[in-house]
Amino acid sequence: MTALKISDNEFHRLVKFIQSKYGINLIQKRALIEGRLSKTIAERGFKSYDAYFDMAFNDESGLETVQLVNKLTTNHTYFMREVQHFEFLRDVMLPHVEKTCQNTRSAAIWCAASSSGEEPYTIAMIIDDYFGARKKGWDLRILATDLSTDILKKAQAGTYSAEGLKDVPEKWKQNYFKRNADGTYTVVDRIKKEVIFKQFNLMDPIKWKRPFDIIFCRNVMIYFDTETKNDLVERFYDVMKPGGYFLIGHAENVSKESRFKFVQPATYQRV
């Protein structure tokens, strides 16, 4: 089946809507839009993109726009991605947390675009491995958020192919996963309980009350325009503890004007 062609007007209408509501810039993604939406439009009996957008953009329940954005987002991720961050977590950030959070024995850690869960589960495994028996009495649960409800369901299930675990150390594979009869692996409950998944649009005000010790926001701002990205970075700054660490993808950058202090590539600290 050939993809239904989107007109210039329809294309710009969608680009504008998605940009203003979710920050995602689709201006270079015309082919992706046609590829991902034309089947839905045909299946649901709409005659044009405009007819589908009229319905979706005006749906008061919000469910239609969630479905639309589920189709347009790129969720690519994998275990141990950009491993330097995880080494830094083990060698610097967790010792910092252990020292500075002794009084409350709890830290606020946020994985702000968690996709299918590989990133927050990697963080939870590193925490478990680092603290070992000392973890008793500590609350180091990770808040993991994403815009896409479909991907959050996959994350909560915590089941991955054997190929998806190829970079996970053998010891962790044994300690933190159970092998299923079909050859897939599921994260053990002990680690699952350490990750709290919630839907959150990074364009919305950040309302969590506790200031964060660590924020991972990797490989999502690359889809945002400069203004949206800079604004988000400063909003992260405002909800962090002084000395807290902020991590972005290695292909991303933080503006020179930002209040964050550069620590090493893709790693920043609130002053």
Catalytic residues: 36, 146
Q: Which of 15, 108, 147, 247 binds ligand SAM (CB under 6 A)?
A: 147
Q: Which of 56, 89, 126, 151 binds ligand SAM (CB under 6 A)?
A: 151
Q: Check residue 113 for interaction with ligand SAM (CB under 6 A).
A: yes
Give the pair of three-digit tokens for residue 84: 């330097």
Site for ligand SAM in 62-101 (CB under 6 A): 73-77, 81
CB 145 within 8 A of CB 112: yes
Q: Check residue 203 for interaction with ligand SAM (CB under 6 A).
A: yes
d(CA 15, CA 24): 8
Report the alpha-carbon angle 80-83-86, nearest 5.
90
Q: How far is residue 98 from each of residues 106, 119, 130, 131, 151, measured CA to CA in Å? A: 9, 21, 10, 9, 32
Q: Check residue 146 for interaction with ligand SAM (CB under 6 A).
A: yes
Give the pair of three-digit tokens for residue 145: 């958020």
CB 42 within 8 A of CB 1: yes
One symbol per residue from 6 to 25: x for binding ligand SAM (CB under 6 A), - otherwise; what is it? ----------------xxx-
Of the two residues 38 and 228, which places its CB atom closer to ligand SAM in the complex?
Answer: 228
Site for ligand SAM in 217-236 (CB under 6 A): 218-220
CB of 113 to ligand SAM, least distance (A): 3
Residues 6+ apart with CB under 8 A from 124: 142, 191, 194, 195
Of the two residues 46 and 216, which places its CB atom closer to ligand SAM in the complex?
Answer: 216
DSSP 221: G
Give residues in contact with ligand SAM (CB under 6 A).
22-24, 73-77, 81, 113, 115, 119, 146-148, 151, 201-203, 218-220, 249
